Structures are given as C-alpha cells and as structure tokens.
A = this chain, B = another copy of it.
Amino acid sequence: MEDLTGWLKLQQAAIEKALKKHLPRGNCRPAVLHEAMRYSVFVGGKRLRPILCLAAAESCGGTLEGALLPACAVEVLHTYSLIHDDLPCMDDDDLRRGKPTSHKIYGEGMAVLAGDALLTEAFIMLAQAPATKRYTGADYIAELAQAAGSKKLIGGQVLDLEGEGKSLSKKQLVQIHEAKTSALLTAAVKLGGMTANATAKELKCLEQFGYNLGLAYQVVDDILDLVQTTDVLGKTAGKDLVAEKSTYPAIMGLEASRKEARRLTENAMDALDGLGKKGARLNQIASYLLERKF
C-alpha cells in the first residue's frame, strides 16, 4: 500500500476541485451570500470527512469518483455546522482554521444564512449522486439527514451548550461526542460504502468503524485543545477550559485519555476485519488521526 501522505494529498486535491465545481459560483446573486458560503468552505480544513467517504468507497470495491458528490455533501454540511456553532449566540468563537469566523467578516445574519444555504446545498449535491443497485439517492439523503438531525449532530450541539459550566459524567460526555462527532463521521463512511453498492454486512463494519473512530477523534481533540497552542490548532486553544466544558482530560486525566483514544482507535480497526484487505486505507487513516498534532 502506497504512502498515506501522498494519497491524502491526491484526495484533498480531488475534493477541492469537486467542491469548486459543485458549489454555486461566487458571482451568483446575491454575491455576498455566495461569497460567504465559499469563504467558509475554502478557508482550509483537513477534509477528514470527505476523505473518509472516499476511502470507505474504496474499501467496498467502489471508485473514488463515484463517491465524490457525497464526499462534498458531507464536507459542506460539516462547514455549515461550524459556521453556526461559532455564532455569538452559540460558542462565540472568532477564529476557525486560523482565520476569522464567518460572522466576524460577514455579520451574524449573513453567517446564519450562509450556514442555512450550505446545509441546503449538501442535499442538492446528494440528490445528484448516482444511485446504485442497492441504494437510491433518497437513501443517501436519509442517511446524511438523520446524522445531521435533531437527535444527532444538532442535538449534540444542544447537549454541549447545556453542559457548559456543569460537571458531566463520562457517560454524558460520550453521548455528546456520539451525537456531535461520531454521527457525521459514521454517515461519511457509510455514504462512501453505499456509493460502492456495499452489502448490509459491509455497511455494518463501516458503521462500527465510524462510531469508534469518531469517539477517538474527539478524545484526541480534547487532548490537543489542552496541550497545543492556538497557532498550531488554527482555532482558539484552551477554550474548553474557558467555557468550563467537561472533557476527557478533565474527567479522567491526560494519560488515561491517551489510553482511551488508543483503545477506541483499536476498536475502529477491529471493525475493519470484515472488509478484508480492502480496509487497509481506513486502517492507515485511523492510525494517522490518533497520532495527529492538530
């Protein structure tokens, strides 16, 4: 298996190109809205979710190209959630990916609308994705909309806001991370699998993988928020402490959190067994995410 870094760069380039193609032009009317939409999508980011979507398609024998529209849809939906999370009436954050957040540049009203438009755009993209023998466009949309809906992604943001200043149990923290992070990562890999016409058994493997990887990712995020600088992270470091948010390191300490991240990553890797050799790329990515520094 070729070098992961090279592969990641290739996929990132393919995703950038597809996002540029499928998002409405910046000069569409109203120009300021379309400019704001593109600003947040292209301000940077690791493109983790779309990359997972592409790798999952590969892991089920599909093509990267067949998974590109769902991959873009997931990234665009993720971007909407960041814009709204950063609003003054939510987490009130000025910095994201090392750049001013949407509302700092375009104002609050426009940031709300740019987020709304990106969420809507995600479904426009998914509705164009080619159906397979087992899955229709409506199946893709149901998968992403459920993950992004009131019981998962949005519900997680509510629980997160409610938890500020309170001391949460580990169980409560896991519930928030399941909803806020795992749900969308799981949808990303399942959508990739669906575009590859995955069997129910393969989808189940991807679901288990996404769930555990999402939790591991969030533990690492909590650790990095504590030990890294704002410069390296590209977003305000130490903000969990300021917002009095319960985090893994706060609840179980730094060393136990590192162990927990490793355990969850191993769970994710175990789930790939059902995919055979084709799961190797996802395995590499899981390992890479565990070791990341930002």
Chain A residues with CB under 8 Å of chain B are 24, 28-30, 32-34, 37, 80, 84, 87, 89-90, 107-110, 112-113, 115-117, 119-121, 123-124, 126-128, 131, 136-142, 145-146, 148-151, 154-155, 157-159, 161-162
Contacts and interface: CB of A to CB of B under 8 A. Distances in A.
A122 to B, nearest CB: 9
A245 B229 CA distance: 47
A13 to B, nearest CB: 25
A29 B162 CA distance: 12
B124 A109 contact: no
B87 A154 contact: no
Contacts of A112: 84, 87, 89-90, 112
Q: Give the oligomeric copy count.
A: 2
Contacts of A32: 158, 162
Nearest to A28: B151
B137 A109 contact: no
Given A32-B158, A116-B116, 7 more contacts: A89-B112, A90-B112, A113-B154, A123-B145, A124-B145, A126-B138, A127-B141
A116 B30 CA distance: 21
A145 B157 contact: no
Contact of A159 (B30, B80, B157): B30
A120 B137 CA distance: 16
Contacts of A123: 123, 141, 145
Nearest to A162: B30
A117 B145 CA distance: 9
Nearest to A175: B29
